[in-house]
Structure 1
Amino acid sequence: MLRHLDIRDMLLIDRLELDFRPGLNVLTGETGAGKSILLDCLGFVLGWRGRADLVRSGAAQGEVTAVFDLPTDHPGRTILTDAGIPAGDELILRRVNGADGRKTAWINDRRASGEVLRALSETLVELHGQHDDRGLLNPRGHRALLDAFAAVDLGPVRAAWAARREAATALAQAEASLAAVKGEEEFLRHAVAELDTLAPQPGEEAELDTRRRAMQGAERIRGDVSRALRTLGPEGAEGAMLEAVRWLDGAAERAEGRLEAPVASLQRALIELGEAVSGVETALEAMDFDPHELESTEERLFALRALARKHDVLPDDLATLADELRERLSRIDAGEGDLARFRADLATAEAEYLQAAARLSATRAAAAKRLDAAMADELAPLRMERAVFETRLASSEPGPEGQDMVAFTVATNPGAPSGPLDRIASGGELSRFLLALKVCLARGNDALVLIFDEIDRGVGGATADAVGRRLARLSEGAQVLVVTHSPQVAALGGHHFRVSKSVADGMTTSTVAALGQSDRVDEIARMLSGEEITAAAKEAARALLGG
């Protein structure tokens, strides 16, 4: 609810403070008194785009402050939370317009952008008039209005749409993945065959390199060891020592014991020499290898290293790479089966969505008939009993809210072509259409402040009374502000404000005053009789106020 409006130095307003109340608030005054200025100022503080020259002549800046009550379940709280603005039970909007055109806004004393302000305003105020383009005349919002009238639960359709979208995404990803690996299928099959043929094992490269180095080392020293063995063997040192021992043994008997010690030393040396020869022979046997083994070892080692360089991995990682490539190849082989499963999932999700959307379409079609009947009942008292209101449903692109396009159309006379509200109805007719539609769509206890700007223009008498009674009915569940020239409408207001204009010291100023009961009689009498208020007009005003 809009509780307070404070305007300073805006257009014709010097300083103005207004307190509004629940129910039907009516604003009246002579033409040109400045009633539209109030709406301009309210639109300004709500961030609406409007006229640029708002600052009062001679003032450095203009300022508007609006105070709203904000219930705990008000949708505006979500916008405040998203914008990082604290929300209490009271919402204070303040906006300043400098004489240079620069605008600054605050929400609860926090600087706020015009975008946040406008988003918040859509949860606070709804304006209706002959040039309404924000609410009921906007075809893009007709489906939501019909859904609200029908109390539609969009949850099942939204869930089915989300499931359909997820299935379509999964299929697209599977197709893209398969297409990507199919492009390398030839490479994968060749690489896997090559790796399977070689069958590399972790640690094999180091083992082969060690064996190769050992064989290469043995090949380099084996000749020296063989020559050493020949030098130490029977044809070398061992043979010579044995020959020396034989010579010394033959001479020992005649040497009177002088050769016993040398012979013993030679015999010990022969034992040590035999052990040395045996060790060299063992070493030589260990160095013995098949040259073909060295060749095959080198070939495999070089093959491992070449394949590792080809795939830009370490030789020890070739086995892991082979597993990865086989897995990618298996996805190709299994890909078509996966695609079939994803296509089946999408077909199921599509069918479930279409069923949910069809149920929603049937609900909307039934609600459209009820809305058309309700509109017929509302239009008759508004002297539009010959007009035909029709809610039309047509197919649209599927989406999270179904596959229906909704449009409100009218025909003002039987046999006349029907069309959009704002193209077929005249100004006065349009106002009554909008009022009837709003009455039918009202949900009660509405969070929005409803503003009707001269929606009763061009009607009078019983029709004006019917307009007023519908506005009063709307105000039972919401706060309604009405700018009106109709005494019948004004008399039904719960709270009455008069807008007037005066000139002092060459400066024109608009003021707004809350009216008591006697002042209301005078104001409604003025509306009935004109500038001269007669006794008969006052009596008629009292009759209107008495209901």
Structure 2
Amino acid sequence: MLTSLSIRNIVLIEALDLAFHGGLGVLTGETGAGKSILLDALGLVLGDRADAALVRAGEAQASVTATFEFDRLPPGIREIMSDAEVDVEPDEPLIVKRRIRSGEGDSGASSKAFINDQPVGVALLRDLARHLVELHGQHDDRGLVNARGHHALLDRYANAGRKGVADVWERWQAAERDLAAAREAIERAAADRDLLLAHLAELTALEPQHDEEEGLAEARATMQKGERLSGDLAELQQLWAGSDSALASLRSAARRLDRIAAEHPMLAEALESLDRAVIEAGEAEDRLARAAEALAHDPAELDRIETRLFDLRAAARKHGCTVDELPDLMRRMRGTLDAIEGGEAELAGLQRKARDLALDYQARAEALSVERAEAARKLDAAVAAELAPLKLDAARFRTAVMRLPEDRWGPGGMDAVEFLIATNPGADFAPLAKIASGGELSRFILALKVALAEQGGAATVIFDEIDRGVGGAVASAIGERLARLAGGGQLLAVTHSPQVAARGTVHYMIAKSNEGTVTRTSVHLLDAHGRQEEIARMLSGAEVTEEARAQAERLMEGA
């Protein structure tokens, strides 16, 4: 609920800090004292248009800060703040601030908005407004006047099974999306069937294998290297072959040295070195032979490998993939063809699922329509019982439950719901928003809220001059109903009626004062004596009489 409102330099208000409480708070004061300024200031933090005319004369800027406190942040507010990526702890107050700077002329003001000191857009304030404050007054288009909320209000009144309908609706729509996607996929695949078969036949004939390209490329490189080195290898092998080769000479020298090595130690050492040379030369001969064998190439095999590489790479370019991805592409093609062949069976299953969910939705929505129709009759009777005490006995109220065309069905069912009124006998029913008299509209809304026995979606409800043009028993009836509604939350009423003011648990008096050429508006929280004096003033006018004080006391005691 709204716990405080701080205003700086708004029209006639220089500086004002107000604390609010639960229950019924009444705001009174003489005509022109500035009650509308308070509502205009509150409207700023609710996202209303920033107007330079609101900035107090002679000041460059103005600001309004409103604090809302909850036992726990309502889900609707949490969702809006989460979507906007504004961090607010569940148990901390919501401090909404709007600052405006005056522009040229009467408009063109610039403004900035903050929530808990975090900069936000004004659109976010408007989104939050319906959860924070429900304002009913002259030409108001929020709260119960807005037909978009009538659906949920009637369902809440009926305790209807709306959630089950919404759940089935979401599942039905998901099944329809799956069905449409499957149809599109099958149609698209079927259109490409011949081309798909031709591509698959080409790839099947080619039989690409994973990692085949790398192996073929390595084999080709080795063969090409052998082709390039073949002359050198032949010459080297010739040096090792025959009786006059270097290796044969080494071996002959070793045999001759072996015969005389015993004659001298140095000859023995020479023989050892020569033996090692023969061994190393022999190993070199073996390695050369193995290298020649490894680098040997078959021109026909090289041609086959190069042709294979060309074919694989050409296929990869054709299909826009790598050679290694060709086997997976074949599998996907086979899967697509299989899907075309088996698609009709799958499609039939999806069709059955969508049809079953559609029938389930329709059955639940039909049952919900019946609940709504019954609840509408009860609500109409309950509102009708409230109209006469509020001086609306000639008026009629009707809850219209209308079947929507199928293309407008949704998670809320297949009905449109709207509250309609007729203010005079024989007059046609019309939406609440089209009623001519603001006072009548406020009293209609009060009757409706009493019948619904709930405060609506907002944490704070404000009625602006709901008692305009009435008095006596009607004003008493309004006050009694306002007090009843305020019992479970917070309700603020701007009133000129002493009967309504006497019902308040908290009383604020709005006054205007002049100091030379400077006019100021102030707000005072009244104690019991102050309340009696203010209610007496409302009863008697400018001069407060003892009789008026006694009447005020009786009203307060009766409340």
TM over 0.5: yes
1:57 aligns with 2:38: no
Counterpart of 2:175 in structure 1: which amino acid?
A
Question: Aligned runs of 1:34-73 on 2, under 5 Å?
Answer: 34-49=34-49, 51-73=51-73
Matched position secondary structure for 1:122: helix
2:433 maps to what in 1?
Answer: 422
Q: Report deviation, 1:122.
A: 2.5
Question: Aligned runs of 1:130-279 on 2, under 5 Å?
Answer: 130-195=138-203
Matched position secondary structure for 2:397: strand
Distance 1:301 1:514, change over 3 A: closer
Q: Report deviation, 1:92.
A: 2.5
CA–CA distance in structure 2, aligned partners of residues 186 and 447 of structure 1: 63
Counterpart of 2:364 in structure 1: which amino acid?
A
Distance 1:147 1:319, change over 3 A: closer
Q: Report deviation, 1:511.
A: 1.2
Which of 386, 407, 412 pairs up with 1:401?
412
RMSD between aligned residues: 3.3
Q: Deviations over 1:104-151 (max 9, x none)?
A: 233223333323333333222110113120111111221122123223
1:96 maps to what in 2?
Answer: 99
CA contact (8 A) 1:305 1:315 kept: no
Q: Report deviation, 1:488.
A: 1.1
1:342 maps to what in 2?
Answer: 350
Question: Aligned runs of 1:387-536 on 2, under 5 Å?
Answer: 387-396=395-404, 397-424=408-435, 426-443=437-454, 448-536=459-547
Q: Deviations over 1:42-68 (max 9, x none)?
A: 112333336441111112322222222
Counterpart of 1:97 in structure 2: which amino acid?
I
Distance 1:194 1:20, change over 3 A: closer
Which of 120, 138, 141 pairs up with 1:112?
120
CA–CA distance in structure 2, aligned partners of residues 371 and 94 of structure 1: 39
Counterpart of 1:34 in structure 2: which amino acid?
G
CA–CA distance in structure 1, aligned partners of residues 79 and 42 of structure 2: 22
TM-score normalised according to structure 1 size: 0.77
CA–CA distance in structure 1, aligned partners of residues 366 and 347 of structure 2: 28
CA contact (8 A) 1:445 1:477 kept: no
CA contact (8 A) 2:52 2:100 kept: no
Distance 1:34 1:444, change over 3 A: closer
Distance 1:327 1:305, change over 3 A: farther
CA contact (8 A) 1:200 1:304 kept: no
Distance 1:490 1:185, change over 3 A: same
TM-score normalised according to structure 2 size: 0.76
Q: Report deviation, 1:336.
A: 2.1
Which of 285, 290, 309 pairs up with 2:314?
309
1:84 aligns with 2:87: yes
Counterpart of 2:49 in structure 1: which amino acid?
R
1:365 maps to what in 2?
Answer: 373
Distance 1:330 1:446, change over 3 A: closer
Counterpart of 2:314 in structure 1: which amino acid?
R
CA–CA distance in structure 2, aligned partners of residues 112 and 206 of structure 1: 63
Matched position secondary structure for 1:157: helix
Q: Report deviation, 1:321.
A: 4.7
CA–CA distance in structure 2, aligned partners of residues 436 and 394 of structure 1: 23
2:554 maps to what in 1?
Answer: 543
1:284 maps to what in 2?
Answer: none
Q: Report deviation, 1:508.
A: 0.9
Counterpart of 1:504 in structure 2: which amino acid?
E
The aligned length equals: 470
CA contact (8 A) 2:179 2:350 kept: yes
CA contact (8 A) 1:127 1:453 kept: yes
Q: Deviations over 1:431-459 (max 9, x none)?
A: 21111112223436976111100111111
Choose 109-118 or 180-189, whichever is displaced more: 109-118
Q: Report deviation, 1:24.
A: 0.9
CA–CA distance in structure 2, aligned partners of residues 317 and 7 of structure 1: 70
CA–CA distance in structure 2, aligned partners of residues 376 and 77 of structure 1: 37
Counterpart of 1:416 in structure 2: which amino acid?
A
Percent identity between matched residues is 46
Matched position secondary structure for 2:539: helix
Q: Deviations over 1:407-454 (max 9, x none)?
A: 111122343221112324533322211111122234369761111001
Q: Report deviation, 1:519.
A: 2.3
Which of 364, 377, 387 pairs up with 1:379?
387
Distance 1:468 1:187, change over 3 A: same
CA–CA distance in structure 2, aligned partners of residues 192 and 89 of structure 1: 65
Distance 1:14 1:322, change over 3 A: closer
Q: Deviations over 1:234-271 (max 9, x none)?
A: xxxxxxxxxxxxxxxxxxxxxxxxxxxxxxxxxxxxxx
Q: Report deviation, 1:158.
A: 1.8
Choose 355-364 or 189-198, whichever is displaced more: 189-198
Structure (1 or 2) with the larger CA radius of gyration: 1
Distance 1:378 1:51, change over 3 A: farther
Q: Any stretches of 5+ residues in structure 2 without a counterpart?
A: 104-108, 228-297
CA–CA distance in structure 2, aligned partners of residues 126 and 21 of structure 1: 16
Which of 320, 324, 329 pairs up with 2:337?
329
Distance 1:131 1:319, change over 3 A: closer
Distance 1:319 1:19, change over 3 A: closer
CA–CA distance in structure 2, aligned partners of residues 503 and 26 of structure 1: 24
Counterpart of 2:93 in structure 1: which amino acid?
E
Choose 301-310 or 163-172, whichever is displaced more: 301-310
2:21 maps to what in 1?
Answer: 21
Choose 535-544 or 70-79, whichever is displaced more: 70-79
2:239 maps to what in 1?
Answer: none
1:352 aligns with 2:360: yes
Matched position secondary structure for 1:24: strand
Q: Report deviation, 1:502.
A: 1.3
CA contact (8 A) 1:171 1:343 kept: yes
CA–CA distance in structure 2, aligned partners of residues 6 and 318 of structure 1: 71
Distance 1:305 1:90, change over 3 A: closer
